[in-house]
Chains A and B, each alone.
Chain A
Amino acid sequence: MKGSDRLAFPFLGGLGLLIALPALAAAALAFTEYSGLGAPRFVGIDNFERLIGDSGFREALGNSGLYVLMSVPLRVAAMVGCALLLHRRARGSGAARAAVYMPTVVPDAAYALLWLWLLNPLYGPVAGIAAALGADTPSLLTDPWGARLAIVMMGVFQIGEGFVIALAARRSLPGALYDSASVDGASGWFVTRKVTLPMMAPVILLLAARDVVLALQTSFVPALFLTDGGPRRATTYLSLFAYRQAFRYFKLGYASAIAVSMFVITALAIYAQYRVAKRYRLLG
């Protein structure tokens, strides 16, 4: 075993202790009735049967699906777009890259509270600007679609890690290709469409797959702090639904079944992306 491999041990240990073990425990608890207040009781697949008939779960599933559909394309487009705009070394590009990355380092709860202030329908800056322009205040916290959009918008600004990956991918493309395209007189849009994006396709696909996983999880904090799952349960995503079942209603076994279903749904979504990519030969 190489010495460098050993460096992975603490990370793998942490991964096992903090991710794999709890995930296995959750998978086991999904087959129990467990309140956290007493011992778990094995109930077979009762929790999963109940999920099928639970309108709250179906609603949360729909909300999460909608969030993924709205958020992932926008976020990936923002990551790749910013990478393409900022990959050159130019005056101010370093500051611009830092600005793109910056919202990602803000703690999630603080970031959500910041948006709560920004979107305050009476006293927030967005309402202030709308009033100054003589427009109606957008109902971003009180209208179901407004709230969905607000949470998607929050996510679009937190693209730091994906942006760095896309930036690295763009900078690794061989310059000779662009020199040849330039000699042939190709337009910038043509080069982007026919050279840059196809060559970045595997990375873009990876970013999209990663974002599907993230979207199902990261929607939790804004939904909890910004909208509390509302209005009209429009932002009660699977993660928030599971959280409430576990920690407000003391149904940890049922919440574990929801978590397992989230895992399966995520795996299916990634598999679907993989199949599409393979079909269109995007994996290189």
Chain B
Amino acid sequence: MRSKLLGSSLAIAGMIAAGCSNDGESSGGRVQISFQVAGEAEEIAAYRTVEKAFEKEYPDIDVQLIEIADKDEHLQKLSTSFAGGAPPDVFLLNFREYSQFVVRDAIEPVGPHLRKAGLDMADYFSEPVDAFTFDGELQCMPQNVSSLVVYYNVALLEAAGLDRPQDGWSWEQFRDYAMALNDPEAQVRGLGIEPSIIRIAPFVWSNGGEIVDDPVAPTRFTLDTPEAREAIGFLSTLVREDGVVPTEEELAAQDLETRFATGKLGMLLSSRRDTPFFRENTSLNFDVAPLPIAKQPVGILHSDAYCVSRAAGELDAVMEFIGFAMGEEGQTITALSGRTVPSLRAVAESGAFLNPAQPPAHPEVFLDAIPVLRRTPVIPTWPEIEDIAEEIFTRIFYEDDYSIDDGLTELEEATRDLFEEGASL
């Protein structure tokens, strides 16, 4: 009895160990690599297509796609798999999140490997490549060069008698559009904007302000300058006084993306990531316009990259995969899905991305923004700083007796230690 029990326990332990192992051992003569990605079903479908196309061209390599539903779960799974010693070989990370992996020496810099494999970085937009360069080396290979734009519902715009927003439109015009599109009785709001630093930052920059004291080695927020305060005030007025942004109740009932996809929002500030989701609703006619301008045109980079775990066993196979995904075929597949603004110039300027048959009809808006893109700081504690900022901006936007002064004071106090900690790692 005892020996049977012991035998069963060992068998179960063996099965668990086998299930957890991820050592790149060949299976049926094929080298196995794993690739973890998070996103909506429509986004995941694009990566599944890349995986299939790659396996067709490289039959000796088997890519195991680890599909995760949302970003938080993606980070949680990365955290547990790294802690458990079995991280995925390749995973996508946003540039705002990768530095915590770099400073802890958890990822293999891809730059030298990809150059050796023949990838010419001059073929790619430099903005995302710079964003993923840390300590002088390209750490992860950026797949896209997306940015914040204004999505708008074409039918609602036409119904309100509005023309497509012109390039270089002003904040006042932006506000007028939001007011004209706002129709709470029809359950339509003029504008959707998240109370987050990545939404507010381009408005601060456009007005001549800065969000931190040093973009490379920040020690504190600088949102208390007149320029920054004016930008925050402009946005909070849209929410609190003009009432053109969904209320907290409306957001608790339905998120901004769903509201836009179902015709309940006139405009939405978002990146390219939402395009596949919006395309799913074939009755939704949407397009994109550039961000409005106060003093200078500015955009904010949104970019994800292929990162490689330091523990990846089959580096050659991994680099073949990244090389394929970042090559013309791989970039074309993700571009056609609507998910990415390709970082490979040739594909970004091709019909795969600029095809007007599918909305948005003006995809060039994303490309036109590239020269004026800026980015948030790359420090390991930035995700935590962003979360605190979002809580505070939510209060600034929605809480009647909570002023901008209250918020900025609290933000300074709540993030001081995190900036310090970020610099020390």
Contact = CB atoms under 8 A, between A and B. Distances in A.
A35 interface: yes
Given A137-B249, A250-B79, A35 B100 contact: yes
A123 B248 contact: no
B254 A55 contact: no
B158 interface: no
Contacts of A35: 100, 104
A59 to B, nearest CB: 11
A13 B249 contact: no
Point out which of A13, A35, A122, A252 has the most chain B C-beta atoms below 10 A from its C-beta: A35
Contacts of A6: 1
Contact of B254 (A36, A123, A142, A247): A123
B252 A37 contact: no
Point out which of A36, A120, A122, A123 has the most chain B C-beta atoms below 10 A from its C-beta: A36
B101 interface: yes
Interface in B40-71: none
Contact of A120 (B83, B104, B253, B391): B253
Contacts of B249: 121-122, 137, 139, 141-142
B5 A10 contact: yes
A233 B105 contact: no
Contacts of A247: 72, 75-76, 79-80
Contact of A232 (B72, B83, B391): B391
A122 B253 contact: yes
A80 B106 CA distance: 53
B252 A13 contact: no
B250 A122 contact: yes
Interface residues of A, number: 29
Main secondary structure of the interface of B (DSSP, over half): helix
B414 interface: yes
B384 interface: yes
Contact of A38 (B80, B106, B394, B414): B106
A4 to B, nearest CB: 13
Interface string B252-266: 111000000000000
Interface residues of B, number: 30
A35 B87 CA distance: 14
Interface in B403-417: 414
A9 interface: yes
Given A121-B252, A121-B253, A122-B250, A36 B105 contact: no
A250 B100 contact: yes
B422 to A, nearest CB: 11
A211 to B, nearest CB: 28
Contact of B383 (A9, A123, A249): A249
Contacts of A250: 79, 100, 104
Contact of A142 (B1, B104, B252, B395): B252
B253 A123 contact: yes
A252 B5 contact: no
Given A6-B1, A121-B253, A123-B254, A36 B83 contact: yes
Interface string A120-149: 111110000000000001010110000000
B1 to A, nearest CB: 7
B311 to A, nearest CB: 10
A9 B104 contact: no
B79 A36 contact: yes
Contacts of B104: 35, 37-38, 250
A248 interface: yes
Contacts of B106: 37-38
B9 interface: yes
B101 A37 contact: yes
Which 3 residue pairs spanning A and B have beta carbons closest together? A36-B83, A122-B253, A37-B106
25 contacts: A9-B5, A10-B5, A35-B100, A36-B79, A36-B80, A37-B82, A37-B100, A37-B101, A37-B104, A37-B105, A121-B249, A121-B252, A122-B250, A123-B253, A123-B254, A230-B391, A230-B394, A232-B391, A232-B394, A232-B395, A233-B391, A248-B72, A249-B100, A249-B381, A250-B104
Given A120-B253, A230-B391, 13 more contacts: A37-B79, A55-B414, A122-B249, A122-B253, A122-B254, A123-B254, A139-B249, A247-B72, A247-B75, A248-B75, A248-B76, A248-B387, A249-B383
